[in-house]
Amino acid sequence: MVRRIWGASNARAPTFMRVALCTAFFLTLLLLSMHGSALVAADAPPLPTPAAPTHTQPQSALQDVPTLAQTQAAAADRFTLLAWNDLGMHCYNRDFQDLAVLPPYNNLYAQVVRVGNPPQIVTTTVTVDYAFADNTYSVGKSNFWDFEKALFGVELAPNIGLTGNGLDGPMAAKPNHFVAEGIPLTEYSDSAPTTRHPYQLATVVARASAGGAKLAQLTAVAPVSTEMRCDKCHSDGGEEGISTGRVETNILTLHDNENSGEYPPGHETPLMDRRPVLCAECHASNALGAPGVAGLESLSRVMHSKHAGESPDTTLGCYNCHPGPDTKCLRDVMSQQHSMGCVDCHGGMEQVSQNPTPWLKEPRCDTCHNDPQYAQNQPLYRNSTGHGGIYCAACHDSPHAIAPSREANDALKFIALQGRNGPLVTCTVCHLTVPDGPGPHGMAAPPPIIYSNWSYLPTVKQ
Ligand code: HEC
Ligand code: HEC
Ligand code: HEC
Ligand code: HEC
Ligand code: HEC
Ligand code: HEC
Ligand code: HEC
């Protein structure tokens, strides 16, 4: 039986107070890190043998026949690139003219491993770029760029998001990984700009800092969806019989009717009279690093508590607001192979609403998988690392997409790296030769063939 992680009765005190999470305080970041979107070609032909970067052993150009030492050096110059999205799904509003819950804002992470005995995580001698071959612009696919000034107080160049990142560009080097935050990605591919496609594909490329030779490339999913089904209850004639012509204005009218007497000083104007409205102006949202107005409940708290009893405590109920009955953002091994749903890990609406620090305190893998070998070393899975400093999500993928996932696009990178779907288990993806010692979670080499009864080569959807 699956155990709930936390709730009103067993909520643990927050173990940390880090508000400066990945997405926090982007407005400050914006001023610091605004940059253009220098395009790094993602369609360069695959590189045969990288020109020797300065940090590797130089080879003489005069020798035709490589020596054994050179062959070994070349093998040791193999790099593995790991890449993933941090959340497993990012949701943004389809239309920003009336209200915004969340902006277009996708985060990609990467680690570069220099294959060897032992393998080495590198961040200083390599650069990593991302691009979307079939998703190169967002203006026209979203009206965000007509309202970003009103919503967030900043004027953004077309196709540039709130952190200054565009749809292609460099990832920032951190001590043990690379990251691109706030990519303003939409769910619409260039090739089908009106068809929703939530499992967008990013091309991530690692290059030698010196010389720029391509070292490794990987295609990873950047999941994104606008599927919020507020319309199921708030369309014209729905809740309280309000009919303004649009779902969003129905919601704002309802909110004004219920609460306008309580709007805090400096925020008194009815929401309908000052559209577009950012919910996080008043209700704190850690997803945005937005503190809200002191004394008012967080957005997560008000939304889940107000709708408790209205939207059922089932995965389909959660899909009323989280993407969604079409997107089905929950696609991981536990949902597909073990019939688990949102409520098994998060609890129901009331329990979610009791989260003291939304987004920063979430279910933990090691609450259920409580053998010490699966312990997280950080409060959040997305920040945790395991075997040799490799991110849990580099081997398992993001929450809600824990490999093997239902989506063929999620499988692409695992197939590219190790020939089959499922968590990274093939030692030689990172080790030059199969090590004698124990691997991830104490696993002995050679690794077991896991998930052998599953299909490893699903039909790839673009
Ligand atoms: C399953 C039906 C359902 C769905 C789906 C739904 N709501 Fe509601 N919502 C309600 C009901 C019922 C109320 C309470 C109406 C009342 O107080 O008379 C409500 C109230 C609200 C209120 C007003 C709260 C207040 O008292 O000020 C807001 C704001 C709101 N919903 C926003 C949303 C948004 C945004 C979405 C989509 C992300 C959404 N709702 C989806 C049923 C729903
Ligand atoms: C001007 C400040 C302000 C803005 C902006 C704002 N709210 Fe509110 N909201 C309030 C106040 C004040 C209340 C009533 C006090 C309370 O219940 O916390 C409230 C109540 C609610 C409630 C009902 C809580 C309950 O339990 O009755 C919901 C749901 C809600 N807001 C959702 C939203 C959403 C969604 C947005 C964006 C569309 C939004 N709010 C924007 C100030 C605001
Ligand atoms: C009526 C709409 C609505 C429904 C139904 C809903 N959510 Fe949410 N949920 C939201 C909104 C809006 C946010 C974003 C709040 C923010 O930006 O901080 C959110 C955020 C979250 C978060 C992240 C913030 C946190 O509290 O940690 C979790 C987890 C979550 N929802 C889980 C669930 C689960 C599980 C269900 C089903 C039991 C569910 N939600 C149903 C509207 C909804
Ligand atoms: C609410 C409890 C719960 C949480 C939280 C949870 N799991 Fe699971 N997980 C299960 C259960 C139950 C199974 C079914 C198989 C089993 O009993 O091991 C499972 C199965 C798995 C499997 C597949 C094993 C197999 O052989 O089919 C993987 C991989 C996995 N979980 C990884 C994770 C990761 C990574 C996290 C955190 C992001 C996580 N789990 C969070 C309960 C949970
Ligand atoms: C197997 C357990 C599991 C199931 C099932 C599950 N979640 Fe989660 N969810 C998690 C974990 C673990 C995290 C925290 C990830 C982290 O710490 O980085 C999380 C985080 C979240 C967040 C915060 C943002 C993020 O992605 O980190 C939201 C929102 C959310 N879940 C919604 C849902 C909804 C909606 C469903 C059902 C459609 C669902 N979850 C099903 C385990 C689960
Ligand atoms: C180098 C790759 C790698 C890293 C890093 C990694 N894992 Fe795993 N993990 C695996 C593989 C492969 C399996 C499947 C084999 C097994 O069940 O032991 C697995 C299995 C699991 C399981 C499933 C247990 C079950 O029921 O079968 C959980 C839970 C898990 N890992 C959690 C984590 C967490 C949490 C982290 C980070 C602290 C992490 N892993 C880091 C490769 C990795
Ligand atoms: C995704 C990359 C990755 C995969 C896959 C991986 N490892 Fe590792 N492994 C590392 C890293 C990085 C280190 C840390 C090297 C260091 O700094 O000492 C490491 C260290 C080790 C070590 C200790 C140092 C050494 O090389 O002796 C052993 C033993 C080991 N791994 C065994 C395994 C086994 C067995 C497997 C397959 C079941 C495996 N690893 C899969 C990345 C990986």
Token readout for 18 is 């880090």
State CA 152 to chain mean position distance. Answer: 21
**Run means of pLDDT, 10 residues per run, the chain, 462 residues:** 32 26 30 28 32 31 40 68 97 97 98 97 97 98 98 98 98 98 98 96 97 97 98 96 97 98 97 98 96 97 98 98 98 97 98 97 97 97 98 98 98 96 95 93 72 38 32
Amino acid identity of residue 285, one-letter, is S
Contact assessment for residue 196 and residue 188, using Cβ atoms and an 8 Å cutoff: yes
**pLDDT, tens only, 262-292:** 999 999 999 999 999 999 999 999 999 999 9
β-strands 172-173, 168-170 pairing: unpaired
**Ligand 2 pocket: which of 259, 273, 293, 300 to mutate (most atoms <8 Å of CB)?**
259
Angle in degrees, CA 7, 10, 15, rounded to 5: 95
pLDDT at 17: 25
Which atom of ligand 4 lies nearest, measured to the CA of 423? 29
Nearest CA to ligand 5 atom 21: 362
pLDDT at 68: 46
- Residues with CB under 6 Å of ligand 6 are 365, 369, 374, 376-377, 384, 386-387, 390, 392, 395-396, 423-425, 440-441, 443, 450
φ/ψ (deg, to 5) at 261? -65, -20
CA distance 52 to 63: 14
CA distance 451 to 439: 18
Enter the DSSP assignment of 58: -
Residue from 270, 27, 1 nearest 153 by CA: 27
Contact assessment for residue 23 and residue 109, using Cβ atoms and an 8 Å cutoff: no
Preceding amide of 404 cis, omega within 30: yes
- Maximum CA pair distance of the chain? 83
Nearest CA to ligand 1 atom 19: 307
Is 324 near ligand 5, meaning CB less than 6 Å away? no
Element (H, E) at 202: strand 199-208
β-strands 178-183, 172-173 pairing: antiparallel
pLDDT at 75: 53
φ/ψ (deg, to 5) at 447? -65, 155
- Residue 173: helix, strand or coil by DSSP? strand
Contact assessment for residue 185 and residue 224, using Cβ atoms and an 8 Å cutoff: yes
Total number of residues shown for the chain:
462
Nearest ligand (C-alpha, residue 306)? 2
Token readout for 51 is 């020109």
- Predicted TM-score (pTM) of the model is 0.89
φ/ψ (deg, to 5) at 223? -80, 140
Separation of CA 79 and ligand 7 centre (Å): 14
Contact assessment for residue 226 and residue 233, using Cβ atoms and an 8 Å cutoff: no
Contact assessment for residue 112 and residue 79, using Cβ atoms and an 8 Å cutoff: yes
CB neighbours of 42 closer than 8 A, spacing ≥ 6? 129, 131, 132, 133, 168, 203, 205
CA distance 340 to 32: 42
Beta-ladder partners of 80: 113
Q: Please state, in angstroms and as integers, the Cα–Cα distance from residue 405 to each residue in 15, 328, 420, following that order.
A: 30, 11, 12
Contact assessment for residue 102 and residue 91, using Cβ atoms and an 8 Å cutoff: yes
CB neighbours of 344 closer than 8 A, spacing ≥ 6? 2, 4, 334
Query: What count of other Cβ atoms lies within 10 Å of the Cβ of residue 461?
Result: 11
Separation of CA 349 and ligand 4 centre (Å): 22
Token readout for 391 is 């991110």
Burial code of 219-239, b = ≥16 C-beta within 10 A, e = fewer?
Answer: bbbbbbbbbbbbeeebeeebe
Token readout for 129 is 């770029």
CA distance 221 to 398: 10
Beta-ladder partners of 293: none
pLDDT at 444: 80
pLDDT at 448: 57
pLDDT at 77: 84
pLDDT at 74: 53
Three-state SS across 77-135? CCEEEEEEECCCCEECCCCCCCEECCCCCEEEEEEEEECECCCEEECCCEEEEEECCCC
- Residues with CB under 6 Å of ligand 3 are 101, 285, 287, 299-300, 303-304, 307, 311, 313, 317-318, 320-322, 342-343, 346, 348-349, 352, 355, 358-359, 362
pLDDT at 445: 74
Preceding amide of 276 cis, omega within 30: yes
By CB neighbour count within 10 A (0-12 exposed, 13-18 middle, 19+ buried), where does 263 fall?
middle
Nearest CA to ligand 5 atom 33: 342
